[in-house]
Structure 1
Amino acid sequence: MAGTAASSPPASGSAPSATSPSSNGSLSIGVIIGISIGVFIGVIIASCVVLCLGCRRKRLKKRGSSRRGFVLPIRVNGVNSSTIMSDSVSSPPANVASKGNSWWGGQEKQLIPSSLGVTKFTYKELHKATSNFTALVGQGAFGPVYKAVLQSTGTTLAVKVLAEQSKQGDKEFQNEVMLLGRLHHRNLVNLVGYCEEKNQRILVYEYMHNGSLQQKLLDQNSEPLSWDQRVLIAQDISRGLEYLHEGATPPVVHRDIKSANILLDATMTARVADFGLSKATDSPNIVSGVKGTFGYVDPEYMSTNSFTEKSDVYSFGVLLFELITARNPQQGLLDYVHLAAMGMETKEDWAEIMDSRMSGNCNLEELGDMANIAYKCVGPMGARRPKMRAVAQNLCNLGKRRSKEQVIMPVMKQDLPPARSLPVGERSKPVRSKKDAGIPPLSPPRGYNQYDPGSDMV
């Protein structure tokens, strides 16, 4: 018993000394291994995050530098989104969601380089100027247009906001700002500034008091444009396009010439607007999906998928006929024109297609000349269409010829019969009374061709 008792304590005391260090050691090693694995996984995750952020910053930096070197410009506005051909025959524009913040919660993407020199408005400033975006004056393919009055200067502006459901997007917004930021002409719309803040894309223009040419032509409740106004508008548009094709460096093709994209200021001066689809002729993307508005698009462009300045010439020819007839080109205007041309004997016969609301109050000779020019512009072969410079010169000859007539009349006044009061609207009628007065007819302007749909304009 004693031996057993004496030997028991060491046995019971030796058990803790033999097992406790082993269990504590294994516990410590397990904790260390667990912590090490956790730290290792954390380091891997952190490294992946850093690498992703670094790659994303490099991509954004590369895109930003490419935009800063972007020389071509560009556009948008429109009539009705359902009339835009790109809705159905080309790939859809960039998703509007691309305007928002990144999924990292980073800063909003900036499309316009600060070095461009175009005024950047704050969202708060435009919010106040448009009375909380309630002063709506129009709606286009890009989005709603509001009238704005800057509180600081009292200047009246037009503010165009990109709508979320719009077929347009960041590309058109960027093109419009970059193009109009470097091109300036009295017959191009004047871009005052832009805003890209709070996920918004906003364009700010000089306010055009008389709206669009489309409204003036197709509104049956308003007074029709006079013949003199139509001639001046045609001349203004041709000068604007001539500048784009031959005055800009590099030259620019508008690609969406139509009455809805021609704006009229307070003096009825016409200005070409909506440059979101425009391209510089040296652009590497000269071949692209067919874009434009049905009824105005060059058939040759549709078949070749390649546009040139002659594509704008075709659209301008359609616009001239719309100006003459006040008919919508999307409702068979050119079919109507071609039928009229089949029975044409003299250029004055074009009078049968004149806007009926004018009741014949126009200069029939000038009408024939303008229709003659338009018919050559819409020829099926682009190579045989005239250049915009020739078109502009021929249209300007209409006004020059009238100016010569006004100079000759006072000189011959002593030989004229007693003056008579002319009925309203007869002021610009052909010079039949001059023949009766013995005044020799004026010779046509240099280079003028008689009516021949197949001939090229000089």
Structure 2
Amino acid sequence: MKEASRELIMGMLMGVLISLMLALVAFICIKCRCRYLLLLEDNPRRASTIPIRTNGVDAVILSDSTVGQESPVVPHANCTSVWLDGTCKKNPASLLPGIPKYTYRDLQKATCEFTSVIGQGAFGPVFKATVSTGETVAVKVLDTNSKQGEQEFQTEVLLLGRLHHRNLVNLLGYCADKGQLMLVYMYMTNGSLASHLYCEEHDPLNWTLRVDIALDVARGLEYLHYGAVPPVVHRDIKPSNVLLDQSMRARVADFGLSREAIVNHQKSNVKGTFGYLDPEYISSKIFTKKSDVYSFGVLLLEMIAGRSPQQGLMDYVELAAMDVEGTAGWDEIVDPRLSGAYNAEELHNIGAVAHKCINPDSGPRPSMSFVVQALSQVVKARDGTRHREKTLLPVATAGEEAN
């Protein structure tokens, strides 16, 4: 009898012990699951560093149907609902209360029923609009059927909402209404740099303007790399993403691919435009600030030669770079539309900077701060020469009159 009682008690104790162990395992699993869900839902950095797309009127597009495992992306939730239904506790719009929000009707009226198309991209059409304040703006209507469009919308709003510089295109507002996602930008009167380099309807850019535009773009990138907190890598620098205002001052645009520069570099899917992609980024799948430096170097050479990477630009550059002295090669590839109207010393100095930027190894490439300093010196030397010429001109004229 005592033996049977002892066995019963032991069985009960074993049962209680097993139950406690199962309860502990279940508790740990539930705790981990809740932590995982909170990280997915509440980490704002994920929403602000989304890899988006590649596109451009003058570029071959890289397809990207997958996302690398280390790429910080929003999970497979409906991104549109975050903006449209207002049910998400962490609605990104609430993080940027200073950005004006427009209704669909506001922009419908401003664009004359969406008839004033001025451009078209992979994201959708761009319209010229006049808002209620009388200001002329550009409205980019994103394709809500595209997951990339929804992600781009969030990326651009979250990034441009905190980035402010005279050489970046300003975001003036957004619309998330009636199932539509739209971005409102400042209107850039003279369109893209690409249109001025390649469209016959525009007169060729003179040499002085090309240098000034290059310096504007360099300053915009320098701000992204060293002025923004945290720093930002643009990842899609090319002529179609450089816009010109009425004074032909340049601003960097299209931040759909942009990502925050992180200290612990992780691999991610290669995104960007063929011809402008850093070869080290392609091989390592790790992007850095030096990836933008490479793209800028290609852009700078493109402005010198008036020829895109798809038109064999880099082959011409290699031929020019074969000149050991670096004093004659760049003249061989200069844009024929300039008809020889350029400063040879400036050309060689800028060509040398561009060639450093496109070094296949990212280590020796200069920083954007170095590039800004080098281009600024070119402009200062030019302005100094003009000043001396203006100072000497009256003296020369007086001497002629005396004779």
- TM beyond 0.5: yes
Distance change >3 Å, CA 165–CA 294, structure 1 → 2: farther
SS state at 2:375 partner: helix
Equivalent residue in structure 2 for 1:134, among 115, 119, 128: 115
2:188 matched to 1:202?
no
CA distance, structure 2, for counterparts of residue 329 and residue 400 of structure 1: 30
Equivalent residue number for residue 375 of structure 2: 395
Equivalent residue number for residue 323 of structure 1: 303
Can you list the C-alpha shifts for 1:301-331, whole angstroms capped at 9, x where unaligned? 0000001100000000000011111112123
Q: Where does the alignment leave 5 or more consecutive residues of structure 1 unmatched?
A: 1-57, 421-458
Equivalent residue number for residue 173 of structure 1: 153
SS state at 2:184 partner: strand
Equivalent residue number for residue 128 of structure 2: 147
Structure with max Cα Rg: 1
Distance change >3 Å, CA 166–CA 210, structure 1 → 2: farther
Task: Describe how 1:266-285 pairs up with structure 2 within 5 A.
Answer: 266-282=246-262
Distance change >3 Å, CA 341–CA 131, structure 1 → 2: same
Distance change >3 Å, CA 119–CA 161, structure 1 → 2: same
The residue type equivalent to 2:305 in the other structure is T
The residue type equivalent to 2:108 in the other structure is H
Can you list the C-alpha shifts for 1:214-267, whole angstroms capped at 9, x where unaligned? 111011232100111101000100000011111111111110101010000111
- Answer whether contact 2:195 2:202 (CA < 8 A) is retained: no
Q: Where does the alignment leave 5 or more consecutive residues of structure 2 unmatched?
A: 1-34
CA distance, structure 1, for counterparts of residue 340 and residue 147 of structure 2: 41
SS state at 1:323 partner: helix
Task: Describe how 1:220-299 pairs up with structure 2 within 5 A.
Answer: 220-282=200-262, 286-299=266-279
The residue type equivalent to 2:341 in the other structure is N
CA distance, structure 2, for counterparts of residue 419 and residue 338 of structure 1: 49
The residue type equivalent to 2:372 in the other structure is A
Can you list the C-alpha shifts for 1:138-182, whole angstroms capped at 9, x where unaligned? 0112211111111x2111110001125657232221111011101
SS state at 1:384 partner: coil
Distance change >3 Å, CA 96–CA 225, structure 1 → 2: farther
Post-superposition offset of 1:137: 0.4
Distance change >3 Å, CA 419–CA 260, structure 1 → 2: farther
Can you list the C-alpha shifts for 1:70-118, whole angstroms capped at 9, x where unaligned? 665887784149722244786799899935669xx97676852323121
- Answer whether contact 1:189 1:206 (CA < 8 A) is retained: yes
SS state at 1:201 partner: strand
- Answer whether contact 1:85 1:293 (CA < 8 A) is retained: yes
CA distance, structure 2, for counterparts of residue 181 and residue 258 of structure 1: 22
2:44 matched to 1:67?
yes
Distance change >3 Å, CA 296–CA 88, structure 1 → 2: farther
- Answer whether contact 2:54 2:61 (CA < 8 A) is retained: no
Distance change >3 Å, CA 401–CA 80, structure 1 → 2: closer
CA distance, structure 1, for counterparts of residue 76 and residue 126 of structure 2: 18
Distance change >3 Å, CA 81–CA 141, structure 1 → 2: farther
2:193 matched to 1:213?
yes
The residue type equivalent to 2:60 in the other structure is T
Equivalent residue number for residue 303 of structure 1: 283
- Answer whether contact 1:94 1:169 (CA < 8 A) is retained: no
The residue type equivalent to 2:215 in the other structure is Q
Equivalent residue number for residue 99 of structure 2: 118
CA distance, structure 1, for counterparts of residue 316 and residue 266 of structure 2: 32
Distance change >3 Å, CA 121–CA 312, structure 1 → 2: same
Identity among equivalent pairs (%): 50
CA distance, structure 2, for counterparts of residue 262 and residue 106 of structure 1: 34
CA distance, structure 2, for counterparts of residue 167 and residue 410 of structure 1: 58
CA distance, structure 1, for counterparts of residue 390 and residue 57 of structure 2: 50
The residue type equivalent to 1:247 in the other structure is G
SS state at 1:330 partner: helix
Post-superposition offset of 1:384: 0.4
CA distance, structure 2, for counterparts of residue 181 and residue 218 of structure 1: 32
SS state at 1:83 partner: coil
The residue type equivalent to 1:311 in the other structure is S
Post-superposition offset of 1:131: 1.3
2:346 matched to 1:366?
yes
CA distance, structure 2, for counterparts of residue 73 and residue 195 of structure 1: 20
SS state at 1:196 partner: strand
Aligned-residue RMSD, C-alpha: 3.3
Equivalent residue number for residue 46 of structure 1: none
